[in-house]
Chains A and B, each alone.
Chain A
Amino acid sequence: MSNAKNAAKAAFEPEKTLPADCDLGAEAFAHVGPDAERRDEIVRPSISYWRDAMRRLMQNKVAVACMVFLVVLVLFALIVPLVSPYTMSEQHLTHPNKPMFFRAEDGHLHVFGTDDLGRDLFMRLWLGTRTSLYIAVSVVVINLLIGVIYGALAGYFGGWIDNIMMRFIEIIIGIPYLIIVILLSMIMKSGVTSLIIAYAIVGWVGSARLTRGQVLSLRTQEFIIAAHALGSSPWRLITRHIVPNLLSVLIVNLTLAIPSAIFTEAFLSYIGMGVPLPHPSLGNLAQEGTLRFMFYPQQLLLPAVVISLTMLSFNMLGDGLRDALDPRLRT
């Protein structure tokens, strides 16, 4: 180890001309030249911002646990509906409202029991999770895209353009999304898509505001001024310089926006405007559960636990990411 270190050191030492009064003759030294094999060797891994963030995230046990949970959740949501012997709407009317691990006389095993139409809750819960995650992720990604572009433009141009764009946001916030949901669910047939679009129409304002704020503060910073002075186009400035600097904030925002989208879906299910039936979602499963939880508590508890743990995980992961990505919090 020490050898390698010395060699490396030597390899990087610039050649010095020896003082004249040196009693060592030049012949005492052999010119070794650059070590072809070792000159590219990196002594200490250079740690990029992202790798450092990753490293710190991995040190955060809670965040890691949350990530693991979410991965497991997604796997269940993807796989269970594929391998389940039941379909989501298949009704076993001979054994409705059964408890967990119920095995019917006809050999049917219902891991999470059945609902009041005798549908298998294990299947429905995971399919519901899939639906809810699908809605949440799509909504958040769409919101983020619209929001970032809108916010970046507003923040970048500033002045009256910014002013108009911000007024527009205030109007959008004022529109109750319930109206939009009902409108869209009537215009378009498919419930899930119209839900996503409806929420996307009103949901992007949060990330737009966030982006704008960040851009406002970024654009007075020296590197942006320099890029500007060098003649970068606004598009290039935004995409190459500003957006990458926003990423950390946006990633955190993303993990926190997903739970709120899941909530919105749940609320819409509560008032009966959610995913079209009999398709399950976490929201409508929980809503059905509340109707019967005094008698069949597992029907509420199962979806509620999945919702809560999902929310919890996204939130904790978001906190972890925030801590990890914030350069000021570097330890």
Chain B
Amino acid sequence: MALLSYILKRVGYAALTVFFLMVLTFLMMQLLPGNPFLGDKAISQVTMDALYAKYGLDKPLWEQFLIYMNNFLHGDLGLSIKYNRPVNSIIASSFPYSAELGIRALIFAACFGVGLGIIAAIKRNTAWDSAAMTLAVIGVSIPSFIMGALLQYLFAVRFKAWFGFGLPTMGWKDEATKVLPTLALCFGTMATVARLTRTSMLDVLGQDYIKTARAKGLTDSAIVGRHALRNAILPVVTILGPTAATLLTGTFVVESIFNIPGLGQFFVKSIRENDYTMIAGTTVFYGIFLVVATLVVDILYGFIDPRIKLTGSRRES
């Protein structure tokens, strides 16, 4: 039952974290300059007051927050000021796009990143190492808006011009449309994973138990596969939590370049348009996602790493 009480404790902390996140976001977004109801046309004070009242913005801040908390606890994130749609339904309709894109990118990045990292570590200081790391580093050294634009231009436009066929430039419909956004999104993460894997793999390969295994005459593949990888992958698992939260909750750049109706676009727009409820909703959603992802990773960690006992506080020993 140690595990259960540990999880309960963590969930408690998580709830506390989300609560403070909400308070902070709530305070900060009220400070955002701008007024969501202003448009090109001036509107009368009567109308402005009516609009403030409609969204409950006429009440004192603490009361707004209480109302918001109450609604939140009932699973209601309020009504988006700009879209006039419930934030719940906006998230429900846009999150699946972001999540699918994110999961694809994440898995692709993890598989190829770990692969590259292992190759680089085993063949340390050889041409393989350099090639794998160069590939990985190129991934982190090109901003995604450039990567996205270049991929789109090359595989959609140029390919069509050169060979008469190419990938679709945009959208999120069939498999073909999903290739380029996934690629554009995964490069950065792939590179991070590859570098992390290489480092921790090198670290692990230097340890005594690996030397022992080698002394016993195990083959390289057996050493890597059975002994080293399990430990070497731990740091990768650690970063996967936050990375998953970032990738899955929407990435504005890729979504905007490829015209994908994901959460990232809604989030950036909401901040720029002072759509208070939408900002709060997406932030809280992101916060919960992050906290849960971290929690899941920590629990996973316990299963993967025999050295860590979930019950105690984590101490390297």
CA distance A174 to B130 in the complex (A): 36
B33 contacts chain A at the CB level, 8 A cutoff:
yes
What's the nearest-Cβ distance from chain B to residue A275, in Å? 15
Stretch at the interface among B86-94, B132-140, B164-172: B132-140
| Cβ-neighbour of A286 out of B143, B272, B291 (below 8 A) | B143
By a CB distance below 8 angstroms, the chain A residues around B271 are 176, 178-179, 182
A97 contacts chain B at the CB level, 8 A cutoff:
no
What's the nearest-Cβ distance from chain A to residue B194, in Å? 11
B6 contacts chain A at the CB level, 8 A cutoff:
no
Beyond A182-B271, A186-B33, 8 additional pairs, beta carbon < 8 A? A179-B271, A179-B283, A182-B32, A307-B141, A307-B143, A311-B140, A315-B195, A322-B199
Stretch at the interface among B16-24, B63-71, B102-110, B222-230: B16-24
Q: Which residue of A lies closest to B202 (CB)?
A: A329
Q: Pick from A174, A307, A312 the residue with the most CB of B within 10 Å.
A: A174
Annotate B141-170 by CB proximity to A: 1 below 8 A, 0 otherwise: 111011001100100010000000000000
CA distance A170 to B253 in the complex (A): 25
A263 contacts chain B at the CB level, 8 A cutoff:
yes
Interface pair B286/A176, CB less than 8 Å apart: yes
Interface pair B143/A167, CB less than 8 Å apart: no
Interface pair A171/B146, CB less than 8 Å apart: no
| Cβ-neighbour of B290 out of A167, A174, A217, A270 (below 8 A) | A174
Interface pair A329/B206, CB less than 8 Å apart: yes
CA distance A173 to B14 in the complex (A): 13
A100 contacts chain B at the CB level, 8 A cutoff:
no
B203 contacts chain A at the CB level, 8 A cutoff:
yes
| Cβ-neighbour of B143 out of A171, A217, A266, A329 (below 8 A) | A266
Interface pair B17/A167, CB less than 8 Å apart: yes
Nearest 7 CB-CB pairings of A with B: A311-B141, A174-B287, A217-B316, A308-B141, A186-B33, A174-B21, A266-B143
Q: Which residue of A lies closest to B242 (CB)?
A: A173
Task: Please give the residue numbers on chain B whose beta carbons come within 8 Å of chain A beta carbons, in ascending order.
Answer: 13, 16-18, 20-21, 24-25, 28-29, 31-33, 130, 133, 137-138, 140-143, 145-146, 149-150, 153, 157, 195, 199, 202-203, 206, 242, 252-253, 267-268, 271-272, 279, 283, 286-287, 290-291, 294, 313-317
Interface pair B206/A319, CB less than 8 Å apart: no
What's the nearest-Cβ distance from chain B to residue A36, in Å? 46
What's the nearest-Cβ distance from chain B to residue A198, in Å? 12
A151 contacts chain B at the CB level, 8 A cutoff:
no
Interface pair B252/A171, CB less than 8 Å apart: no
| Cβ-neighbour of A271 out of B24, B202, B252 (below 8 A) | B252
Interface pair A308/B202, CB less than 8 Å apart: no
CA distance A269 to B268 in the complex (A): 13
By a CB distance below 8 angstroms, the chain A residues around B272 are 182
CA distance A312 to B191 in the complex (A): 11
What's the nearest-Cβ distance from chain A to residue B306, in Å? 18
Interface pair A319/B141, CB less than 8 Å apart: no
How many residues from A make CB contacts under 8 Å with B? 47
A51 contacts chain B at the CB level, 8 A cutoff:
no
| Cβ-neighbour of A171 out of B17, B202, B267 (below 8 A) | B17
| Cβ-neighbour of A175 out of B25, B203, B294, B316 (below 8 A) | B25
A304 contacts chain B at the CB level, 8 A cutoff:
yes
What's the nearest-Cβ distance from chain A to residue B142, in Å? 6
Task: Tell me what chain B mostly uses at the interface: helix, strand, loop, or mixed.
Answer: helix
**Residue contacts A-B, CB under 8 angstroms, 30 given:** A167-B20, A170-B290, A171-B21, A171-B24, A174-B17, A174-B291, A179-B25, A179-B279, A179-B283, A182-B272, A183-B33, A213-B316, A259-B140, A266-B143, A267-B145, A270-B143, A270-B145, A270-B253, A271-B268, A286-B146, A290-B149, A294-B157, A300-B146, A307-B142, A307-B146, A309-B141, A311-B141, A312-B138, A315-B140, A328-B203
Q: Which residue of B lies closest to A322 (CB)?
A: B199
Q: Which residue of A lies closest to B315 (CB)?
A: A216
Interface pair A267/B287, CB less than 8 Å apart: no
* CB proximity to B under 8 Å, residues A306-321: 307-312, 315-316, 319
What's the nearest-Cβ distance from chain A to residue B204, in Å? 11
| Cβ-neighbour of B149 out of A180, A259, A271, A293 (below 8 A) | A293
A287 contacts chain B at the CB level, 8 A cutoff:
yes
What's the nearest-Cβ distance from chain B to residue A300, in Å? 7
What's the nearest-Cβ distance from chain A to residue B255, in Å? 12
A94 contacts chain B at the CB level, 8 A cutoff:
no
CA distance A169 to B202 in the complex (A): 30
What's the nearest-Cβ distance from chain A to residue B53, in Å? 25
CA distance A107 to B279 in the complex (A): 53
Known contacts A174-B287, A312-B137, A312-B141; is-contact A304 B146 (Cβ 8 Å): yes
By a CB distance below 8 angstroms, the chain B residues around A176 are 267, 271, 283, 286
* CB proximity to B under 8 Å, residues A189-242: 213, 216-217, 220
CA distance A329 to B124 in the complex (A): 12
By a CB distance below 8 angstroms, the chain A residues around B286 are 174, 176
By a CB distance below 8 angstroms, the chain B residues around A186 are 32-33
CA distance A251 to B11 in the complex (A): 35
By a CB distance below 8 angstroms, the chain A residues around B28 are 175, 179-180, 183
Annotate A132-170 by CB proximity to B: 1 below 8 A, 0 otherwise: 000000000000000000000000001000010001001
Interface pair B146/A167, CB less than 8 Å apart: no
Q: Which residue of B lies closest to A166 (CB)?
A: B13
Q: Which residue of B lies closest to A294 (CB)?
A: B153
Known contacts A175-B28, A300-B146, A304-B146; is-contact A315 B141 (Cβ 8 Å): yes
By a CB distance below 8 angstroms, the chain B residues around A183 are 28, 31-33
By a CB distance below 8 angstroms, the chain A residues around B242 are 173
By a CB distance below 8 angstroms, the chain B residues around A62 are 130
CA distance A289 to B20 in the complex (A): 41
What's the nearest-Cβ distance from chain B to residue A10, in Å? 42
